[in-house]
């Protein structure tokens, strides 16, 4: 890592871009920020430990050492989270608000290029930025720092991947900062994330709740797991569904689409297997090979997926939610465009009898259809609100149908002021989405205490400024360690908190819980020993095509002479903060462990306090100007090298570049300073490293 001059001090911070009086400086934040300046980095911090403050510290330092008016881009998956980041950066940076701008899909594509050019600190949803960069409305050459929040999204075709690739290509010296509380459990996921965002293995920074330097900022979090048993009616329904599912799986096995042969396939095949089989069957049908049995197999496979969903409703949500689903299934089956799988299941006598039985029970004794977890949930809420009437409680529920049912029942209890919190999509007349404005209004009322229980789907996991919660309840369990971390992080930020996980014994609920907890432990272990071989090599990260032309004078023989500049800086190379980032020199030197300082100076590059390298455009060539610079500075430097950058030179007539370069070289051969033209940015790094290595031991 380069030895940056004026590194962020852990005792005193002086930065013209930082409102130091507004910040509470934490040692771990400063330590992480110091190691991330000018180096692509992944920062993993539990929710509530201030990832955004780390980003602010890095942004302030990056602006200080970058060319004037360099831009910073902050990205996050949702508009509410983008707006939160806007407020935080505005609070802590001295950059005027007039230079801040939020750009999302709500901004017209015609307006965004002008807004981008006119502002310095930009906040984007990734889809918006990707669309503009791919369509070349503007470029990233003047962006000194790109921040990827909730970086665990960087997989598959998510926009983060192509944006990182474009950024590295357009601005080799630009810095990438990835932030997340949950990068994934396996080494493969962590490796994939780092590779997608061009992060080297030695710059993954992780803190967990038990680390000594974060302990003082963490409040106690008690985690309880409460299991319930299925009712006899739920067991009976599940048995019927297992019987029908087994018939589907055996049929697929006879067709040869399931390789396992067993009398109890439903105990060995999971929903994920059928999803994979569905992709294979679609591929077979769309291909040109043998399609025997594929159409029938696709229909039976679809039935199996529906049955898996029904089983999940029974185990996790309750028979009342299953009844709602069956009602919709029966209605859809009567429609002309209904799928064959729907029609077959809706006409199955066992499912029809089950549907009628649930309807009868719902009329006579509706409470028998409610999942036993609801009774536990109700008792927990009443107990908590009795002990602490000012509590704020967040309940995570997987399905919107369950959210609606739970809120409706909770409203019958005076102490519980529950509110439904879901996403923006409207699914039906009875299941309307919440606009962003409505979401923010609900969160505001939740903070004030007008509501004390927020019952929400995964929309509440990340990206929204939800008030500090005293209690977080998982009504159902997901196998994702990422979602487990996001949900847990909603409590124990500024005061003690509790997490209660409800699950159903001897079902997939219990299995998912064990998987999520094991993946969480695995993730923390893998991050602590990030595999060095799994991160992209230098060849992967940049594709350098060094030109054939390198003037022999790029390796000058320096005669030793007495110098009055004996107090060298820690680093032997000083780079001006005004020096353009397009050459990738900073990153290139870092990769070879060549230390350098960033200094405020009009001198672009100074090596060993004896050699000056100044980079000019061909249009800046004036013989008198170069002679004047040399005459003025030759007593200060033993060698002055003028690099003329032809990378963006456009010829006005054939061979103009060749003639121009020859003119420069002819002129330079008669001077006591060096002139070197370059055709591609990578040549500059080659020249600087050549001079450095040749003179390092002199």
Q: pLDDT for 416-443, tens place per residue?
A: 999 999 887 887 777 888 887 888 888 8
Regarding whether 597 and 577 lie in a shared domain, the answer is yes
The answer, yes or no, to whether residue 268 has pLDDT greater than 50, is: yes
The verdict on 390 and 522 lying in the same domain is yes
pLDDT at 49: 80
Q: Are 644 and 657 in contact (CB under 8 A)?
A: no
Q: Is the pLDDT of residue 568 over 50?
A: no
Assign 291 a pLDDT band (cuts: 50, 70, 90): confident
Same domain flag for 28 and 158: yes
Q: In 10 A of CB 582, how many CB atoms?
A: 19
Number of neighbours of residue 653 by Cβ within 10 angstroms: 6
**From the CB of residue 533, how many other CB atoms can be counted at a distance below 10 Å?**
7
187 and 203 part of one domain = yes
Domain boundary among 308, 342, 369: 369
426 and 575 assigned to the same domain: no
Single residue among 346, 369, 392 that ends a domain in this structure: 369
43, 52, 53, 75: which is closest to 146 by C-alpha? 75
- Round to whole Å and give the CA distance between 560 and 543: 37
Q: Does any domain span residue 538? A: no
Please write down the long-range contacts of 93-102, taking CB distance under 8 Å and 24 or more positions apart. Answer: 93/17, 93/18, 93/19, 93/56, 93/59, 93/60, 93/121, 94/16, 94/17, 94/18, 94/19, 95/17, 95/63, 95/120, 95/121
Q: Which residue has the higher pLDDT, 255 or 24?
A: 255
- Please tell me whether residues 378 and 357 are part of one structural domain: no
Backbone angles phi, psi at 453, to 5 degrees: -130, 120
Least confident residue range of 344-353, 520-529, 535-544: 535-544
Answer yes or no: is pLDDT of 569 > 70: no
Question: What's the Cα-to-Cα distance from 530 to each of 80, 143, 192, rounded to whole Å?
Answer: 32, 28, 12
pLDDT band at 219 (very low <50, low <70, confident <90, very high): low
Any long-range contacts for 585-591 (C-beta under 8 Å, 24+ apart)?
585/173, 585/684, 585/685, 585/688, 586/2, 586/38, 586/173, 587/38, 587/172, 587/173, 587/542, 588/172, 588/685, 588/689, 589/2, 589/685, 589/688, 589/689, 590/1, 590/2, 590/38, 590/39, 591/538
**What is the model's pLDDT at position 549?**
26
Flag whether pLDDT at 677 surpasses 70.
yes
Asked whether residue 544 carries a pLDDT value surpassing 60, the answer given is no
Helices (H), 106-186: 112-118, 126-134, 159-170
In a domain, 478, yes or no: yes
Name the E strands within 14-59: 41-44
Read off the CATH number of the domain in which 320 is found.
1.20.1320.20
In a domain? residue 641:
yes
pLDDT for 574-584, tens place per residue?
999 999 988 98
- Range in 563-567, 582-586, 613-617, 646-650 with the lowest mean pLDDT: 563-567
Average pLDDT, stretch 325-329? 94
The reply to whether 11 falls in a domain is: no
Tell me, yes or no, whether 358 and 389 share the same domain. Answer: no
> Is the alpha carbon torsion for 313, 319, 321, 324 positive or negative?
positive
Which residues, listed in sequence order, are joined to residue 394 by a DSSP beta bridge? 454, 472
Structural domain includes residue 105:
yes
**pLDDT tens per residue, range 588-638:** 898 888 889 888 899 999 999 999 999 999 999 999 999 999 999 989 999
Looking at the 3D structure of the chain, how many domains does it have? 4
**Where residue 98 falls among pLDDT bands split at 50, 70, 90?**
very high
pLDDT tens track for 140-173: 999 999 999 989 888 888 999 999 999 999 999 9
Closest CA to 56 of 5, 4, 19, 21: 19
User: Residue 32: which H helix or E strand, with range?
Assistant: helix 27-36
Residue 544 belongs to some domain of the structure: no
The pLDDT value given to residue 4: 40
pLDDT of residue 95: 95
Written as one string, the DSSP assignment of 399-415 is -HHHHHHHHHHHTTSTT
| pLDDT score at 558 | 41
- Give the per-residue pLDDT at 437: 83
pLDDT number for residue 373: 94
What CATH number has the domain bearing residue 633?
Answer: 3.40.50.10130
Q: What is the pLDDT of residue 400?
A: 87
Per-residue pLDDT at 192 exceeds 50? yes
**Residue 313 three-state SS:** helix
What was the pLDDT predicted at 517?
73
Both 77 and 195 in one domain: the answer is yes
Q: pLDDT-derived band of residue 481, with 50, 70 and 90 as boundaries? A: very low
CB contact at 8 A, 59 and 145:
yes
Is there a single domain that holds both residue 181 and residue 307? no
Distance of alpha carbon 177 from alpha carbon 634, whole angstroms: 41
Domain membership flag for residue 396: yes
| pLDDT over 80 (residue 535) | no
**pLDDT category, 240, cuts 50, 70, 90?**
very high
- Would you say the pTM of this structure is higher than 0.85? no
Report residue 12's pLDDT band, with 50, 70 and 90 as the boundaries.
very low
Alpha carbon distance 600, 388 (integer Å): 56
Of the candidates 426, 680, 637, the residue with the CA atom closest to the CA atom of residue 545: 680
Looking at per-residue pLDDT, the higher value among 475 and 190 belongs to: 475
Residues 507 and 462 in one domain: yes
Query: Do 208 and 191 have their domain in common?
Result: yes
Mean pLDDT score across all residues of the chain: 84
**Furthest CA-CA distance within the chain:** 105
Per the CB < 8 A criterion, the answer to whether 456 and 396 are in contact is yes
CB contact at 8 A, 46 and 219:
no
Q: Which residues 6+ apart lie within 8 Å of 509 measured at CB? A: 315, 316, 476, 477, 503
Q: Which single residue is written with the structure tokens 């009976």?
A: 236
Last residue of a domain, one of 167, 183, 218: 218
Sequence-ordered list of residues with C-beta below 8 angstroms from that of 595, at least 6 positions apart, any chain: 2, 3, 570, 571, 572, 573, 589
Task: Return all residues near 60 (Cβ < 8 A) that are at least 6 apart.
Answer: 15, 17, 18, 92, 93
Rounded Cα distance between 595 and 613, Å, is 17
Q: What is the pLDDT of residue 529?
A: 59
Range of the domain at 604: 552-695
- Which tokens go with 27? 């040692």
pLDDT of residue 563: 37
In order of 254, 381, 576, 598, 611, the CA distances from 605 in angstroms are: 73, 65, 6, 10, 8
Q: Which of 324-338, 449-463, 485-499, 658-672 has the lowest mean pLDDT?
A: 485-499
**CATH classification of the domain holding 496:** 3.40.50.300
Instruction: Decide: 41 and 177 in contact? Cβ < 8 Å.
Output: yes
Residue % of the chain over a pLDDT of 90: 51
Phi-psi category of residue 150: left, alpha or beta, with phi > 0 → left and psi -120 to 50 → alpha = left
Any domain includes 151: yes
Tell me what pLDDT residue 214 has.
75
Average pLDDT over residues 459-465: 54
Q: Is 295 helix (H, G, I), strand (E, B) or coil?
A: helix
One domain for residues 358 and 376: no
Kindly tell me if the per-residue pLDDT of 234 is higher than 70.
yes
Per the CB < 8 A criterion, the answer to whether 10 and 30 are in contact is yes
Q: Which pLDDT does position 570 carry in this prediction?
A: 55
């Amino acid at each position: 890592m380069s030895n940056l001059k004026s590194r962020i001090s852990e005792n005193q911070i002086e930065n013209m871009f930082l409102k130091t009086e507004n910040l509470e400086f934490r040692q771990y934040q400063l330590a992480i920020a110091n190691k991330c300046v000018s180096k692509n980095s992944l920062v993993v911090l539990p929710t509530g430990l201030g990832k955004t403050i780390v980003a602010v510290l890095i942004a302030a330092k990056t602006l200080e050492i970058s060319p004037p008016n360099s831009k910073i881009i902050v990205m996050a998956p949702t508009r509410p989270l983008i707006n939160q980041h806007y407020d935080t950066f505005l609070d802590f940076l001295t950059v005027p608000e007039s230079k801040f701008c939020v750009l999302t899909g709500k901004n017209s594509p015609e307006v965004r290029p002008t807004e981008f050019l006119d502002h310095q600190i930009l906040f984007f949803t990734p889809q918006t930025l990707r669309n503009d960069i791919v369509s070349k409305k503007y470029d990233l050459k003047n962006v000194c720092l790109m921040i990827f929040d909730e970086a665990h999204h960087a997989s598959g075709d998510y926009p983060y991947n192509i944006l990182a690739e474009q950024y590295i290509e357009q601005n080799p010296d630009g810095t990438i900062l990835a932030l997340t509380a949950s990068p994934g459990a396996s080494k493969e996921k962590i490796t994939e994330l780092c590779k997608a965002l061009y992060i080297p293995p030695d710059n993954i920074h992780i803190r967990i709740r038990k680390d000594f330097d974060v302990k003082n900022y963490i409040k106690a979090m008690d985690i309880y797991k409460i299991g319930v048993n299925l009712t006899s009616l739920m067991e009976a329904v599940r048995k019927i569904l297992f019987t029908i599912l087994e018939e589907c799986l055996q049929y697929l096995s006879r067709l040869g689409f399931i390789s396992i042969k067993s009398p109890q396939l439903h105990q060995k095949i999971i929903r994920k297997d059928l999803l994979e089989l569905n992709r294979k069957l679609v591929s077979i049908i769309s291909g040109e090979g043998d399609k025997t049995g594929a159409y029938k197999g696709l229909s039976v496979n679809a039935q199996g997926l529906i049955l898996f969903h029904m089983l999940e409703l029974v185990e996790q949500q309750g028979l009342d939610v299953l009844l709602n689903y069956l009602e919709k299934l029966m209605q859809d089956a009567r429609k002309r465009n209904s799928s064959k799988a729907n029609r077959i299941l809706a006409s199955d006598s066992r499912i029809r009898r089950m549907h009628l039985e649930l309807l009868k029970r719902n009329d006579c004794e509706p409470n028998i259809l409610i999942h036993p977890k609801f009774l536990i949930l109700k008792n927990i809420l009443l107990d908590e609100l009795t002990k602490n009437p000012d509590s704020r409680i967040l309940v995570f529920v997987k399905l919107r149908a369950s959210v609606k049912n739970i809120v409706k029942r909770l409203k019958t209890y005076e102490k519980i002021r529950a509110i439904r919190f879901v996403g923006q999509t409207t699914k039906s007349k009875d299941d309307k989405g919440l606009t962003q404005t409505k979401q923010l209004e609900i969160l505001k009322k939740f903070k004030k205490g007008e509501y004390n229980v927020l019952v929400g789907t995964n929309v509440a996991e990340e990206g929204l400024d939800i008030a500090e919660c005293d209690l977080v309840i998982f009504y159902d369990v997901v196998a994702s360690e990422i979602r487990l971390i996001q949900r847990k992080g909603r409590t124990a930020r500024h005061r003690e908190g509790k997490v209660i996980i409800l699950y159903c014994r001897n079902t997939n609920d219990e299995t998912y819980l064990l998987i999520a907890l094991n993946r969480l432990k695995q993730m923390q272990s893998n991050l602590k020993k990030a595999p060095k071989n799994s991160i992209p090599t230098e060849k992967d990260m940049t594709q350098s095509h060094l030109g054939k032309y390198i003037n022999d004078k790029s390796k000058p023989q320096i005669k030793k002479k007495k110098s009055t500049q004996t107090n060298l800086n820690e680093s032997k190379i000083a780079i001006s903060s005004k020096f353009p980032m397009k050459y990738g020199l900073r990153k290139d030197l870092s990769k070879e462990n060549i230390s350098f300082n960033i200094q405020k100076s009009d001198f672009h590059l100074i090596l060993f306090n004896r050699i000056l390298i100044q980079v000019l455009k061909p249009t800046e060539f004036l013989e008198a100007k170069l002679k004047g610079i040399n005459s003025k500075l030759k007593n200060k430097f033993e060698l002055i090298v003028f690099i003329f950058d032809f990378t963006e030179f456009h010829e006005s007539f054939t061979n103009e570049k060749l003639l121009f370069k020859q003119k420069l070289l002819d002129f330079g051969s008669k001077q006591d300073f060096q002139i070197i033209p370059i055709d591609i940015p990578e040549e500059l790094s080659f020249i600087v490293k050549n001079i450095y290595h040749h003179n390092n031991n002199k």
